[in-house]
Amino acid sequence: MTAIVLAACWAALAGSLPPPAGAGSPSRAAAPPDDPLFRHQWNLRAIGIPAAWAISRGAGVTVAVLDTGVAYRTRGRYRQAPDLAGTRFAPGWDFVDGDPYPDDVARADGRRTHGTLIAGIIAQTTNNGLGAAGVAPEATIMPVRVLEPDLMGTARALARGLRFATDHGADVINLSISGTADTRVVSRAVAYAAAKGAIVVAAAGNAGRPAVGWPAADPRVIAVGAVARDRSLAFYSNHGDRLDIVAPAGAGELGDGGRGPADGVLAQTLEDGQADFCFCFSASTSAAAAHVSGVAALLVGSGRATTRGEVRRALLAGARDLGAHGRDPRFGAGLVHALGALNAAGRARGPAARAPSSESRSRRWPAAALAGLVLASLLAWRIARRRRARSGPGAA
């Protein structure tokens, strides 16, 4: 079976790092959460998250995370990640071990796990006085395990995960996964998800190539690249004509004693065993894709964009243009922006665009009729005045 290679990510312990320089202050449109590590989350401010929370926090939206599993529960040797204790979860599935328990499994080499971190970026518990904030903190996470702890998986497992998530009500499906070639089984699963209305978001890949990896390159998928804090394209990010949008992830260049990039994005994940967690920085297109999935959840939760096409259009229309003017191969439509996307969707579905209900139409009829009568009277008066002018002095 064809192997799917997940884009590698770097991580660093957050506790020993100073606050990021130039992080700025949270938006005035919404009070900042009390999560103590929010001050490190330059990425959330860069995409307008604090202001977007005044409109939507993703409530009622299910985001499927197809990955190495998620530390979503405490059972037996498994422990729930502390900063996921207040996060909502939907039943998922483990397509690696073939059971209904998609737990994130600690790596034998002691390296940090991946799926819990991705779930945390999307919806880790926010405003709980612990850790960091998520992009869509009221969204529901559906953990679907399709990868081994070493970040390897099969096309068959990925395809089955896509179909499971679609059939079990996922509104958004996050694929922080990238391979070098398309496969028929995955392509068919993506087509199935798209036909059912699921919004599929995928990482462009971390090879630094001018070609988007698969399945992100599929036209039915929203392909996400990564940018650094200065909004330059991250050196590792794949790009190209099939790139749709970019999101914050960091350049991965500011290491801390070999433990990872201090300029990355922050979330909690497993390390050194099933009960050991760290708040780690990561820099990858995997992390970037998670941001876009979170913003998609905000859009759906707001009610302003509820279909796959509406969400895609709002994401692209609300993005902040980077690089060459307009869409380009390095940045796609630009940097995802939560508030911009919500505003773009609001304009598209504003009051003038919505058909009024039968009740509101009946209530508005007298006013509309009166306005029509006034307009008709005014028009008749102007016509009569013109006729009188034509028949005045000097006419033969």
The rounded distance, in Å, linking the Cα atoms of 156 and 188 is 11
The rounded distance, in Å, linking the Cα atoms of 85 and 82 is 5
Active-site choice (284, 286, 293, 302): 286
Tokens 């009569």 sit at which residue? 384
DSSP state of 283: E
* Active site (annotated) includes residue 40: no
- H or E element, residue 294: helix 285-302
328-337 b/e (C-beta count within 10 Å ≥ 16 → b): bbbbbbbbbb
The rounded distance, in Å, linking the Cα atoms of 30 and 170 is 28
**What distance, in Å, lies between the first and last C-alpha atoms of the chain?**
96
Please give the C-alpha separations between residue 144 and each of 135, 174, 278, 316, in angstroms, as whole numbers. Answer: 20, 10, 22, 27
Beta-bridge partners for 214:
179
Tokens 């890949």 sit at which residue? 205
Active-site choice (35, 40, 56, 67): 67
Closest CA relative to residue 298, chosen from 119, 90, 185, 134:
134
DSSP state of 33: P
Q: Which amino acid is at 241?
A: D
Torsion, CA 125, CA 127, CA 128, CA 129, rounded to 10: 130
Tokens 């992100």 sit at which residue? 216
What pairing do the DSSP bridges indicate for beta strands 222-227 and 245-248? parallel
- H or E element, residue 175: strand 172-175
* Active site (annotated) includes residue 286: yes
Reduced 3-state DSSP string for 190-241: HHHHHHCCCEEEEECCCCCCCCCCECCCCCCCEEEEEECCCCCECCCCCCCC
* Active site (annotated) includes residue 67: yes
Active-site choice (114, 239, 291, 337): 114
DSSP state of 281: E
CB 227 within 8 A of CB 249: yes
User: What is residue 145's three-state secondary structure?
Assistant: strand
Active site residues: 67, 114, 286
